[in-house]
Chain A
Amino acid sequence: MYEYKTLYSPLLNFFKNPNFLIFGWPLISIVFLVITILTSLMIGAVFISPESLFLGEMTNLEKTVLLTIRLPRILLSAIVGGGLAVAGASLQGLFRNPLADPTLIGIASGAALAVAFTIVIILPSLDVNDGVFDLYCLAFAAFIGGMITTLIVFALARSEDQLSIAHILLGGIAMTAIASAGTGIMIYISNDNQLRALTFWTMGSFAGALWPTVIVASSVVIPCSFWLISLSRALNILLLGKDEAEHLGINTQSIYTQVIVASALLIGVCVAVSGIIGFVGLVVPHIIRLALSSDHRTLLPLSVIFGAILLVLADTLARNVILPSEMPVGVITSLIGGPFFLWLLVRKKGGFL
């Protein structure tokens, strides 16, 4: 699916110079991220002018909106975007499959089943009509659901101390089918309000972002991202194949386990705080590979930053296009990501993949 070219333009050589790829690009992209976040802070139902934002001369209303609603929401979208993108990039590298994404190993669908079960069965029986409590219940359920699916897939794929990639992928597909059937049953027995809550959650949204959610998400996403980045060299060599990596002295079992555990943690937390947001884990790493390099030492850090930028932008759109209401951000990312992905596929005429 990639167009292979050797380009000798001096400008491009400068931007693709190994040192620039490892140090220059992350710096540039962090500047982009900061600009995106600052711009996004101003835009919304209550517009905050650049002067009042930078000079701090805000009315009480503006201050409240900024600190309790907008800032946590933007930070959460950045954290989730970074987490999903780096998890996607690592899983694609590990499985040597350009189509690998968080839904592939069954994490997202397991989480969705747990959330459906919570909305339809558990919450009505608890009968606590508290929005924040409900939200925490859903996040916790999604996390547990995602982890259980991952553990089952992991256990199935493990025989005689060997992890089989094919078994992980097939196990993930089977678990997705089972979990979808379970979610279907939940939808069937739900009432109208529950169905609406369920549908909205499945499309993904940051509407409920609060400071505690930001802290919980960042306490998982930041360490796990660094963990994955620290495995970059090994992931590069794994591109050659499992046996070749073993011959070069890499403990492939340990790398498989580490990447899958770190990605499962990342995806579990992201799905828990924001629902299922598609395409970030697929589109962001592919853009970077096509534009710059498949070297994981560049790819993984840049995926974190560009994933964050993409989701901050998408969420800013989501909360502004149909004011005073808002769209689920998952719809926006799919609307951008779907056509973009199709463009990637048709760009090179003839055989891809």
Chain B
Amino acid sequence: MIRAENISVMAGNSLLLDQVSIELGQHELTAIIGPNGAGKTTLMKCLTGSLTVNSGKVWIGMNEIQKMSRHELSRYRSVLTQINALTFPVTVKEIVAMGRHPYRLTSTLKHDNEIIDEVLEIVDAIHLKNRYFNTLSGGEQQRCHTARVLAQIWDASEAFLFLDEPTSAMDFHHQFKIFEKLRKLVEENRLGICLISHDIRLVQKYATKIIGMKSGKLCGQWNVEATTNTFAKLFDVPENFLKSDAS
């Protein structure tokens, strides 16, 4: 379980996060939604330990996140950020293998290779294994990085997966296939997931908990029953804009 207690973050004179408290459960798929500049990514950075909070505390299980080393953290949670291009020719397999770096002293090459195949299977990219990353399309690159972050926490217990707009370049087929599997992993209690997305349809279908943010504050928390009306209010748009059958 990851828990934030009254965290605030300042940048210069502006308050990016204002007294936010949030709890991510081990068997939950939490989605954070909200308009641009609401502080979603800032909140995620605090929860992953990449950003120091100005006040408040973040806990992973019983440990305070600021007191954990990078190495300890790397075995508890993995983070998919928005993708960068790579400058040099690196294969998909090499990239996914980088996800096993935290276990380089404790794991075997054979075990790592099995995990690499398993996670590539999950994101439907096993056929891309020997391709160079930069020859892939945007969606394929995103799937490859998703495989890497899965490999990082594959055999950890009570691990968390953070995804920042994981489907921005993915086609519907792969969104469906990958999220069906991720939801299943959450239900099997293998990992907890926290994701940021602007894709209301995806969030409504797969999230077990939805958190709305606006100008650095939490402005609502819903379970699956959240209606389109609620989202329309949050984003300040007419309700029929969010309905797929709007005429």
- Inside 8 A of B106's CB, which chain A residues have their CB? none
Contact partners of A4 in chain B: CB under 8 A: 89, 132, 134-135
Residues of B within 8 A of A92 (CB): 88
New A-B contacts (6) at CB < 8 Å, excluding given A2-B88, A246-B50, A249-B71: A2-B89, A240-B86, A240-B98, A247-B48, A247-B50, A250-B70
Q: Does B130 contact A (CB under 8 A)?
A: yes
CB nearest to B104 among chain A residues: A233
**Closest B residue to A294 using CB positions:** B88
Which residues in B have some Cβ–Cβ distance to A below 8 Å? 48, 50, 69-71, 73-75, 77-79, 81, 84, 86-90, 94-95, 98-99, 101-102, 104, 130-132, 134-135, 152
Interface string of A104-142 (1 = CB under 8 A from B): 000000000000000000000000000000000000000
Option from B73, B74, B131 in Cβ contact (under 8 Å) with A6: B131
A6 to B92, CA, bound (A): 12
Interface set, chain A 261-290, CB cutoff 8 A to B? 289
Is A240 touching B84 in the complex (CB atoms < 8 A)? Answer: yes
A-B pairs, 10 with minimum CB distance: A249-B74, A294-B88, A4-B132, A249-B71, A4-B135, A247-B79, A249-B70, A96-B87, A241-B84, A249-B102
A237 near B78 with CB under 8 A, answer no
Query: A248 near B99 (CB under 8 angstroms)?
Result: yes
| Residue from the set A4, A236, A244 with the largest chain B CB neighbour count within 10 Å | A244
Judge if A239 is at the interface, Cβ distance under 8 Å. Answer: yes
24 intermolecular pairs with C-beta atoms under 8 Å apart: A4-B89, A4-B132, A4-B135, A92-B88, A96-B86, A96-B87, A97-B87, A98-B87, A233-B101, A236-B98, A239-B90, A240-B95, A240-B98, A241-B81, A243-B50, A243-B81, A247-B50, A247-B79, A247-B81, A247-B152, A248-B99, A248-B152, A249-B70, A249-B102
Cα A244 to Cα B152 in complex, Å, equals 12
Which single residue of chain B is at the shortest CB-CB distance from A100?
B87
How far does the alpha carbon of A181 sit from the alpha carbon of B138 in the complex, in Å? 45
A246: chain B residues at CB < 8 Å are: 50, 70
- Interface 1/0s, chain A 1-15, versus B by CB < 8 A? 010111000000000
Residue numbers in B under 8 Å from A6 (CB-CB): 130-132
Q: Which residue of B lies closest to A243 (CB)?
A: B81
Is residue A251 contacting chain B, with contact meaning CB distance below 8 A? yes
A294 with B101: CB separation less than 8 A = no
Q: Are B84 and A295 in contact (CB under 8 A)?
A: no
A248 to B131, CA, bound (A): 23
Q: Is the CB of A249 within 8 A of B90?
A: no
- Chain A residues near B70 (CB, 8 Å)? 246, 249-251
Whose C-beta in chain B lies nearest to the C-beta of A242? B84
Known: A6-B130, A243-B81, A294-B89. A248 touches B94 (CB 8 A): no
Min CB gap B21→A, angstroms: 24
- Give A233 to B94 CA distance when docked, in angstroms: 11
- B79 and chain A: residue at smallest CB distance: A247
- Look across to chain A and name the residue whose beta carbon is closest to the beta carbon of B78: A247
Which A1-60 residues sit within 8 Å CB-CB of chain B?
A: 2, 4-6
Residues of the A chain whose Cβ atoms lie less than 8 Å from the Cβ of B95: 240
The smallest C-beta distance from A236 to any residue of chain B, in angstroms, reads 7
Say how far B162's CB is from chain A's closest CB, in angstroms: 9
How long is the Cα–Cα vector from A26 to B110 in the complex, in angstroms? 24
Task: Give the residue name and chain of the B residue nearest to A247 (CB).
Answer: B79
| Smallest CB gap from A95: residue in B | B87
Contacting residues, chain B, for A98 (C-beta < 8 A):
87-88
Q: Are A294 and B98 in contact (CB under 8 A)?
A: no
Partner of B87, one of A236, A239, A243, A244: A239
Contacts of B99 in A (CB 8 A): 248
Query: Which residues from A are CB-within-8-Å of B77?
Result: 247
Among A243, A247, A249, max chain B CB count under 10 A is at: A247
Chain B: which residue is nearest A1 at the CB level?
A: B87
Min C-beta distance of B180 to chain A, whole Å: 25
Write out the residue numbers on chain A whose beta carbons fall within 8 Å of the beta carbon of B69: 249
Say how far A152's CB is from chain B's closest CB, in angstroms: 27
Q: Is the CB of A248 within 8 A of B89?
A: no
- CB of A156, distance to nearest CB on chain B (Å): 21
Question: How far, in whole Å, are A243 and B45 apart by their CA atoms in the complex?
Answer: 10
Give the nearest-CB partner of B75 in chain A: A249
Measured in the bound complex, the distance between the Cα atoms of B73 and A240 in whole Å is 18
Q: Tell me the complex Cα distance, A98–B50, Å.
A: 28
| Alpha-carbon separation in the docked complex, A246 to B78 (Å) | 10
**Closest Cβ neighbor of B71 among chain A residues:** A249
